[in-house]
Amino acid sequence: MNPSSFFLEVPDDRRLWQDFLAGEVGAFEKLMSGNFRALFRYGSKFTKDREFVKDSIQDLFLVLWEKRENLNPDAAVKPYLMASLRRLMHRHITSRAWVGNEPLADEESYFDMEFSVEHEYIEHESTAVRMQYLEKLLQELPRRQKEVVYLKFFQECTREQISEIMAISPQTVSNLLQIAIKHLKTHWKIEFFIFFLVHFLF
């Protein structure tokens, strides 16, 4: 399993989802606490305002609780939560110019690909340099390509899940991913690209 993935599918997420829809408060609390960290990491890709992200996650779960009787009982929990948070945040971002004293980024251009790697991967200076260069290349990608790469390699989402989260067709997901990988291969030495595939694809 990819150690850089922060949003792994919890085995009993579906059971918790069913219990939550039935109105069980305990299931609702577990669903929220079990997914909060990963949702926060994903939400933080769209804005630097961390409090805004936290508030959005709390708002999301309040809305889910209020509308639980009308939610899809067969929803895939992971992509559903991510897609719902994405839509909620983007609605707020586009309707507000500022939060506090910091401007929110335009959703069409901003997606932060800053990431940290587990300690065993950065023991050697050469590996740290590679990761810094990888981050630089990823930051150069257009926003939608960065998001597809993030969801695919760092969240281990399937093409269909990414399609649902980003509200685009599966073919568009494939196209964006192919273009992004082509960019990385073009600007990265082959041994660096193999390093990326080994640690983030498999």
Least confident of 73-82, 114-123, 182-191: 114-123
Q: Which CATH architecture has domain 119-201?
A: Orthogonal Bundle (1.10)
The yes-or-no answer to whether 13-103 and 119-201 have a common fold is no
* pLDDT value at residue 96: 60
What would the DSSP string read from start to end of 90-149?
Answer: HHHHHH-SEETTEEPPPTTT---------GGGSSSHHHHHHHHHHHHHHHHS-HHHHHHH
Tokens 């082509």 — which residue? 182
User: In whole angstroms, what is the distance from residue 199 CA to residue 202 CA?
Assistant: 6
Q: Report whether 197 contacts 169 (CB < 8 A).
A: no
* Model pLDDT for residues 129-168, shown as the tens digit of each residue: 666 777 788 888 898 999 999 999 888 899 999 999 999 9
* pLDDT value at residue 34: 92
The domains of the chain are located at 13-103, 119-201
Q: Which DSSP letter does residue 66 get? A: H
Q: What is the pTM of this model?
A: 0.73
* pLDDT value at residue 36: 94
* Model pLDDT for residues 85-130, shown as the tens digit of each residue: 999 998 887 766 444 444 444 444 568 766 554 444 445 555 566 6
* pLDDT value at residue 62: 95
In CATH, the number for domain 13-103 is 1.10.1740.10
Residues 6+ apart with CB under 8 A from 147: 45, 111, 166
* Nearest alpha carbon to residue 142 among 184, 105, 170, 111: 111
Strand partners, 102: 99
> Helix (H, G, I), strand (E, B), or coil: what is residue 103?
strand
* Model pLDDT for residues 29-77, shown as the tens digit of each residue: 999 999 999 999 999 998 888 999 999 999 999 999 999 999 999 998 9
Confidence tier at 202 by pLDDT (50, 70, 90):
very low
* Model pLDDT for residues 7-22, shown as the tens digit of each residue: 444 447 889 999 999 9
